[in-house]
Amino acid sequence: MSLPILLTVDDDPSVSRTVARDLRRQYGEHYRIMRADSGMDALEALREVKLRGGTVAAILADYRMPQMDGIQFLEQAMDLFPHARRALLTAYADTEAAIQAINVVDVDHYLLKPWDPPEEKLYPVVDALVETWKAVGEQEVAETKIVGHRWSARSYEVREFLARNSVPYRWYSADEPEGARLLEAAGATPEDVPVVITPDGEALRSPSGPEVAAAVGLNTTPAEDFYDLIVIGGGPAGLGAAVYGASEGLRTVIVERDATGGQAGQSSRIENYLGFPDGVSGTQLTDRARRQAQRFGAEVLTARDVMGLEARGSSRVVKFGDGTEIAAHSVVLATGVSYRALAAGGSEDLTGRGIYYGAASTEAPNCSGQDAYVVGGANSAGQAAVYLSRFAKSVTLLVRGESLERSMSHYLIEQLRGIDNVNVRLRTTVEETHGEEHLERLTICEGDGFTEAVATNHLFVFIGAAPRTEWLDGTISRDQNGFVLTGPDLLVDGRRPRAWRPDRDPYYLESSIPGVFVAGDVRSQSVKRVASAVGEGAMAVTLVHRYLEDR
The 10s digit of each residue's pLDDT in 481-531 is 999 999 999 998 888 888 899 999 999 999 999 999 999 999 999 998 899
Q: What is the 3-state secondary structure (H, E, C) of 476-513?
A: CCECCCCCECCHHHHCECCECCCCCCCCCCCCCCECCC
Mean pLDDT of 23-41: 93
Say yes or no: 309 and 235 in one domain: yes
For helices 70-80 and 39-51, angle between their N-to-C axes, nearest 10 degrees: 10
Q: Is 221 part of a structural domain of the chain? A: no
Residue 423 domain flag: yes
What is the distance between the alpha carbons of residues 407 and 386, in angstroms, rounded to a whole number?
A: 16
- Among 116, 136, 156, which residue terminates a domain? 136
pLDDT bracket for residue 1 (50, 70, 90):
very low
User: Is the separation of the CB atoms in 325 and 227 below 8 Å?
Assistant: no
CATH of the domain at 19: 3.40.50.2300
Mean pLDDT of 354-372: 87
pLDDT tens, 364-379? Answer: 888 999 999 999 999 9
Q: Which of 461, 487, 513 represents a domain boundary (last residue)?
A: 461
In this prediction, residues 121-128 reach a mean pLDDT of: 89
Name the domain boundary from 114, 136, 158.
136
Residue 286 · residue 239 · CB < 8 Å: yes
Pair 299, 284 in one domain: yes
For residues 28 and 127, membership in a common domain is answered with yes
Same domain, 448 and 360: yes
331 and 250 both lie in a single domain = yes
Q: Between these two residues, 178 and 315, which has the higher pLDDT value?
A: 315
Phi-psi region of 149 (alpha: psi -120 to 50; beta: other; left: phi over 0): beta
User: What per-residue confidence (pLDDT) applies to 121?
Assistant: 83
Q: Are residues 233 and 334 in the same domain?
A: yes
DSSP state at residue 56: E
Q: What's the average model confidence in pLDDT over 42-55?
A: 86
CATH number at residue 162: 3.40.30.10
Are 334 and 428 members of one domain?
A: no
Is residue 444 domain-resident?
Answer: yes
Is the pLDDT reported for residue 39 higher than 70? yes
Domain of 511?
A: 226-338+466-550
Question: Which is it for strands 169-173 and 144-148: parallel, antiparallel or unpaired?
Answer: parallel
Asked whether residue 168 is domain-assigned, the answer is yes
Q: Are 324 and 509 in contact (CB under 8 A)?
A: no
Q: Are 513 and 311 in contact (CB under 8 A)?
A: yes
Q: Are residues 190 and 42 part of one domain?
A: no
Edge-to-edge strands, sheet with 32-36: 32-36, 5-9, 56-62, 85-90, 109-112
Strands 325-333, 337-338: pairing kind? unpaired
Query: Tell me: the pLDDT tens digits for 77-113?
Result: 888 888 899 888 877 655 556 555 655 567 778 777 7
Q: For residue 85, is it within any domain? A: yes
CATH code (residue 527)? 3.50.50.60
Q: What is the pLDDT of residue 231?
A: 98
DSSP 372-386: EEEE--SHHHHHHHH
Question: How many other C-beta atoms can be found within 10 angstroms of the C-beta atom of residue 48?
Answer: 11
pLDDT exceeds cutoff 60 at 74 = yes
Q: Please tell me the predicted confidence (pLDDT) of residue 262.
A: 83
Strand partners, 308: 319
% of the chain beyond a pLDDT of 70:
95
Which residues touch 289 (CB under 8 Å, ≥6 apart)?
236, 239, 240, 243, 260
Residue with more model confidence, 97 or 5 = 5
255 lies in the same domain as 331: yes
Structural domain contains residue 449: yes
pLDDT: is 100 or 132 the higher one? 132
185 shares its domain with 277: no
Position 132 confidence tier, pLDDT thresholds 50, 70, 90: confident
Query: Does residue 479 carry a pLDDT above 80?
Result: yes
pLDDT given at position 265: 76
pTM: 0.75
Residues 374 and 473 in one domain: no
Total domains, the chain: 4
The mean pLDDT of 272-291, rounded to a whole number, is 81
Region for residue 68 given its phi and psi (left: phi exceeds 0; alpha: psi -120 to 50; beta: otherwise):
beta
β strands within 26-166, DSSP E: 32-36, 56-62, 85-90, 109-112, 144-148
- Average pLDDT over all residues of the chain: 90
Instruction: Provide the Cα torsion 51, 52, 53, 59; round to 10°.
Output: -80
In a domain, 230, yes or no: yes
Is residue 220 included in any domain, yes or no?
Answer: no
User: What long-range pairs does 273-278 form, CB within 8 A, spacing at least 24?
Assistant: 273/530, 273/531, 274/531, 276/120, 278/116, 278/117, 278/120, 278/121
| Same-domain pairing of 12 and 108 | yes
